[in-house]
Amino acid sequence: MLLKIENLHAEIDGKPILKGLTLTVNAGEIHAIMGPNGAGKSTLGYVLGGRPGYEVTEGSITFDGQDLLELAPNERAAAGVFLGFQYPVEIPGVSNVQFLREALNAQRGTRGEKPLSGAEFLKIAREEARKLDMDAEMLKRPVNVGFSGGEKKRNEMVQMGVVNPKFAILDETDSGLDIDALRIVGDGINRIMRAPDKAVLLITHYQRLLDYVQPDVVHVLADGRIVRSGGADLAHELEREGYAGVTA
Ligand SMILES: Nc1ncnc2c1ncn2[C@@H]1O[C@H](COP(=O)(O)OP(=O)(O)O)[C@@H](O)[C@H]1O
Ligand SMILES: [Mg+2]
């Protein structure tokens, strides 16, 4: 298995948010996580990414044979963990290409690999932008500054394509996307992450993204735990019946 989370308890400012969450993800699988607002979905993503302020008080996370909680955020990234944000941050003064190149070369450095030259890197970045139907001009703009919601999400897919992670947690990647952008992002997730040695946790509220990215397993996260798991059908059931019936 690629990721094994056992009895995870985590809190923010002393407030318990995750309350005994257990989840196993095998390589080659795409898992969807659905659940009501405030359930702890984004918190799970942040804890996996190692965001400061999120304190794990109990439980364990094993990623690719390593104790993930022992690793600093940059070491997690270098180990192949990618976190897509529900609300991508804007970074004025840093161009998209600079940001991507720094991110990729920092990860390569941590893995003991040589940094890529500007030219080598630009080729990869342009290629990823092209595959995601993103204007290459956007690579020169400051990261996410003035990008529309859809452009930010598409940009996140370009980042994912460039760093080519083993495991991606995508938090509401579908929010703010129109139908065409949704298809492009869905295709991007399939192209970059559908592989026997990779896996995805797709946090979403809507069936429509799951029409493009077919999940192998669907989970319902409520009140800090996984309360139900099932196949792709479960997402349809949730869409019909809401969370109340499923979590009761
Ligand atoms: N910085 C914080 N301080 C206190 N409570 C927080 C903080 N961030 C999130 N929470 C609370 O944690 C709970 C889970 O939030 P979140 O993980 O964002 O839920 P979801 O993504 O499932 O909607 C919510 O009740 C939210 O108000
Ligand atoms: Mg959230």
Convert the pLDDT of each residue in 25-54 to its tens digit.
999 999 999 999 999 999 999 999 999 999
Q: How far is CA 189 from the centre of its chain?
A: 10
Model confidence at 64: pLDDT above 80: yes
Tell me: pLDDT of 101 over 80: yes
Question: How much is the pLDDT for 128?
Answer: 94
7-20 confidence digits (pLDDT tens): 999 999 999 999 99
Res 37: pLDDT: 93
What would the pLDDT profile of 170-227 be if each residue is shown by its tens digit? Answer: 999 888 888 888 998 999 999 999 999 999 999 998 888 999 999 999 999 999 999 9
User: What is the per-residue pLDDT for 244?
Assistant: 84
- Among 11, 15, 171, the mutation site with the greatest number of ligand 1 atoms within 8 A of its Cβ is 15
Residue 44, pLDDT score: 97
Residue 91: band (very low, low, confident or very high) from pLDDT cuts 50, 70, 90: very high
- Which atom of ligand 1 is nearest the CA belonging to 46? 17
Domain annotation covers residue 108:
no
Q: Please check whether residue 110 lies inside any domain of the structure.
A: no
Amino acid at 41: K
Residue 128 in domain: no
> Cα(199)–Cα(197) distance, rounded to whole angstroms?
7
158, 132 in Cβ contact below 8 A?
yes
Average pLDDT, the chain: 93
How many distinct structural domains can be found in the chain?
A: 1
Ligand nearest to the CA of 221: 1
Length of the chain: 248
Segment 96-116 mean pLDDT:
93
- Residues 6 or more apart whose Cβ sits within 8 Å of residue 50: 71, 72, 73, 76
Flag whether 102 is in a domain.
Answer: no
In a domain, 136, yes or no: no
Asked if residue 248 has pLDDT above 70, the reply is: no
Taking the centre of ligand 1 as the mean of its atom positions, its distance from the CA of residue 52, in whole angstroms, is 14
Whether the CB-CB separation of 174 and 182 falls below 8 Å is answered with: yes
State the pLDDT confidence band at 239, using cuts at 50, 70 and 90.
confident
Residue 211 belongs to some domain of the structure: yes
Edge-to-edge strand order for the sheet containing 81-84?
Answer: 81-84, 167-171, 199-203, 30-34, 217-222, 225-230
Residue 192 is encoded by which pair of tokens?
């970059």
Domain boundaries, position 237: 3-90+147-247
CA of 36 to the centre of ligand 1 (A): 12
| CA 244 to centroid of ligand 2, rounded, Å | 18
Any domain includes 124: no
Pocket of ligand 1 (CB under 6 A): 12-13, 15, 17, 35, 37-43
Does residue 112 lie within any of the structural domains? no
**CA 45 to ligand 1: nearest atom:** 17
Whichever domain contains 59, its CATH number is: 3.40.50.300
